[in-house]
Structure 1
Amino acid sequence: MYLDAQKVAAALPWPALIDSLSHIFTQPVHSPVRHHHRIDLPDAPAAMMLLMPAWIEGQYLGVKQVNVFPGNNASGLPALSSNYLLSCGKTGQPLAQLEGNELTARRTAAASALASRYLSRPDASRLLMVGSGRMARYLVPAHCSVRNITQVTVTDLSLASAQKFAEELRSTGLQANAISLDQLEQATANADIISCATLSTEPLIYGDWLQPGVHLDLIGSFTPTMREADDVAVQRCDVFVDTRAGALAESGDLIIPMSNGKLTTSDILAEFTELCAGTHRGRAQLENPDSAMTLFKSVGASIEDLAAAILAYERVSAHQNA
């Protein structure tokens, strides 16, 4: 079975995908650290192959292969391509191959929505989307699937890009507007949920701007030198992560405040395994839940890819056998 990007999208509706992520974080999943392999090329920049395996014993096993070839840009080809191979956990026989870029984008946005389900206020209705690239187009509908979002504000380094995305959102029936970055402070103060999906290496969101009750969702930082929020934001918020091991090893949003003595590992209240199992109840467990400020930092994990691949395979198989 091969599922291209369009079929992957159709097989992973937001509510089902979010529930699948919630379920798999309560299961005994083996998910080793991702493998990085450098590939030298003649007359071109070095490439990289990333392998992200995960398995549930006796059920499913899978691996995502991500190929990063920077030299492709010169010939008009995408620099990144990825595929996911899902196999039977009992026999090792391949079951399905899935286009990996769509799978990754959807499970990333679904993880943010899952976190919002635990961490944003139930009455949250105003979403600030920082960044208007590809991921923003997944994050907005994912957040809308768990909260009754009535107002979306979009900002980006390129105001034209933010305006284009806001227009797309309005065409779907959402009330949406675009602002320039110099209006970001006021937009931050008015937001219930702030989702950031950028490649920034400098803070965009400052802790002094945050208002009581806000939920801050940080997607972009996946290296120790990248960050989207400053030290004060991290200090003022109750901090949650998808996985402690990944977030503490890869994200400058946490690594930099730690190096500055502004954050410790004990300040991270819970990860998905605890939230999904109910051992930490998220915002509901915090002192003054209505006014608490929460922060969720994700860097992605192979367990999320596995959950998405299993869901897509089972949904398509059920449809074919109906």
Structure 2
Amino acid sequence: MSGLRDQLSYAAYAAGWGAVKKLPEPVAVRLGRTIADLAWKRRGKGVLRLESNYARVLPDASPERLAELSRAGMRSYLRYWMESFRLPVWSEERIRNGFEPEDTHHLHEALASGRGVVVALPHLGNWDLAGAWATTALGIPFTTVAERLKPEKLFDRFVAYREGLGMEVVPHTGGAAFGTLARRLRGGGLVCLVAERDLSASGVEVTFFGETTRMPAGPALLAQQTGAVLLPVTLWYDESPVMRGRIHPPVEVPGSGTRAEKTSVMTQALADAFATGIADHPEDWHMLQRLWLADLEPRPKPSGAQPPAGTHGTRDRRDDQVRPGERS
């Protein structure tokens, strides 16, 4: 059954890359919105999880407000996919004009230092477009990491797509990826990492919208070990065809403490920067998976009590796996 599901996933994404990029842009926009609204009306697990995550961002929001946000969130998510399917056929001018970031001086100053730069982003807006803008408007190639997807040919398709936009893509395979990224940074290069979700045991615990989650240690460790500048970036859409963004001030390496302590402080600073962008534009945060530890680990139950229906005595990871639809 999983093999059939993998083949169907590949067929769906292959159809997207093959057909959507040939559509006139207004038609693609309407198609994306239609698909988003249909998915929202079905109230599937992804939509319900999106609303649950938005409830952490806006704890005082009413159910009606959360439903409104999730509808806008699904439209934003499908806008990401429609743009991504079409990016390979966009002109350089369309890419340059499609993204307007603020505070670019932080990036220019970091690159001019020759120390290498780690850009860390959450799942906001369209980071593929931001990456294409960097390679096109600034002429800066960069390296990123991609989680392996199933089936393997779908992963290969994602890698080919991103490499076609000028990115160097390193598969996430243990410590080998970290070593490659470190070499690029020591050579003064640019590394971009999506960095607000890490449910592995090696993730760094941070406070995010008042609750605990884990985020990857990689950005902070790379900055410490290579001397690279660590820059948080947040993205958002507006009503125009243009995506906007903000390059936040650098996250500095603390002057004292153990490596673990420094990593914790720096990763919390990333989480705080991400939170500002997400709070300002929650509808553009495409987090359709579990994130907070309270959603992953069962709460202690009184002696003799039975767990509620649908829960397990161990950590429930049913929707934690990387899927083709989850950006990496």
Give the TM bin, normalised by the shorter chain: 0.3 to 0.5
Name the TM-score, length of structure 1 as normaliser. 0.35
By relative contact order (CA 8 Å, sep 6+), the higher-ranking structure is 2
Q: What is the TM-score when the length of structure 2 is the normalising length?
A: 0.35
Which has a greater percent of helix? 2
Report the structure, 1 or 2, having the larger strand content.
1
